[in-house]
Amino acid sequence: MIQLHIQSQETLEEIISKRDGETKIGEKLQYCYSLEAIEQSSAKYVIFGIAEDYGVRANYGKRGTANAWDAFLKTFVNIQENDYNKGEDMLLLGYISVTPDDIKYTTPKPILGDVVKRIDKKVAYIVQAIVATGKIPIIIGGGHNNAYGNITGTSQALGSTINVMNIDAHTDLRTTDYRHSGNGFSYALSLDTPENASLNKYTVFGLHKNYTPQYIFDLFKKHKNRLQYHFLEDTWEVDTPIAQQYAKALQFVSQETFGLELDCDAITNFPSSARTPSGLYLNDVRQFIMHTASQKNCRYFHICEASPGRKKAGQVGKAISYFVTDFIRSHHAD
């Protein structure tokens, strides 16, 4: 079963740590009783989670991305409500759970891919409903397979293709033999059947040379008017600050409606499905998020592939909470 669980304030009471003289943001967030009721809320930002790792497992990755939402929520509801964080600007919708029948460790990858297709439909439906109201969805958790649902849902709500900036060590443009976390953008581009495309222009920032197949580089060359990449190694250019490099890369997609995808695999030593010892620094990524959110055409933000274990759940929750508040402050200011 793939189900949206609507969040209520009452269910959060036990994880909100209250103190005299302080107000936690979980006490001020907006909530709703159904997806259809979102439009009635005055909140600009709708936050929801995707508690799944089937796309990652179908892509031969490590499970654990299903736990990112819970790690985020326990930290996020306890940040301070103050002049810089306003709970009334945010609606906490809830999360998607995935509990399909007869899935085992030995289940063939294409069967997992069938589950991913069902998740795609649910994610797209929810994102479409949010974007159609003029609000901004902020999606937490799951594998990068969920980019396809984000893109499709936004495209359907707006009636046009959109662009995407992807901060990532990988392109996720693998072949479309079956659905998994490594081919969400391939499905969205739909290069063989353009009439089915929901993604127009795509750029990836922080790409690793060691983990990109040649056929994907060939794809970029063939479709250079729609696809761009920027290597991690190139960001070390001392004459050009990394923030300036990112801003230039963003221009490729930001002149039209676009979404922001952040794969935590891109961040050095971040607990994720494909943790890397060599990547972008977390504080640089925070700057990228703030700059991206300040662009008027940004319509959604997705944080994926975080895979917190028990010992790292608190730190992962803090990091994702920083990403979310950075985005909202910068977008709200615009």
- What is the Cα Rg of the chain in Å? 19
Instruction: Check the annotation: does 144 bind a ligand.
Output: yes
Distances (CA, A) of 42 to 94, 226, 284: 17, 36, 32
For CA atoms 211, 152, 299, 302, the dihedral sign is negative
Q: How far apart, in whole angstroms, are the C-alpha atoms of residue 287 and residue 327?
A: 10
Give, as one character, the DSSP assignment of residue 91: E
Confirm if 266 and 303 have CB atoms less than 8 A apart.
Answer: no
Strands 162-167 and 258-263: parallel
Distances (CA, A) of 104 to 58, 61, 99, 238, 254: 12, 15, 11, 49, 42
Instruction: Check the annotation: does 172 bind a ligand.
Output: yes
H runs (alpha helix) in the chain: 54-58, 68-76, 109-132, 147-158, 184-189, 214-222, 242-254, 282-293, 313-333
Q: How far apart, in whole angstroms, are the C-alpha atoms of residue 2 and residue 89?
A: 28
Instruction: Check the annotation: does 263 bind a ligand.
Output: yes
Instruction: Check the annotation: does 170 bind a ligand.
Output: yes
Concatenated DSSP letters of 202-246 = EEEEEE-GGG--HHHHHHHHHTTTTEEEEETGGGG-TTS-HHHHH
Give, as one character, the DSSP assignment of residue 77: T
Q: How far apart, in whole angstroms, are the C-alpha atoms of residue 49 and residue 53?
A: 12
Give, as one character, the DSSP assignment of residue 161: -
Annotated binding-site residue numbers for Mn(2+):
144, 168, 170, 172, 263, 265
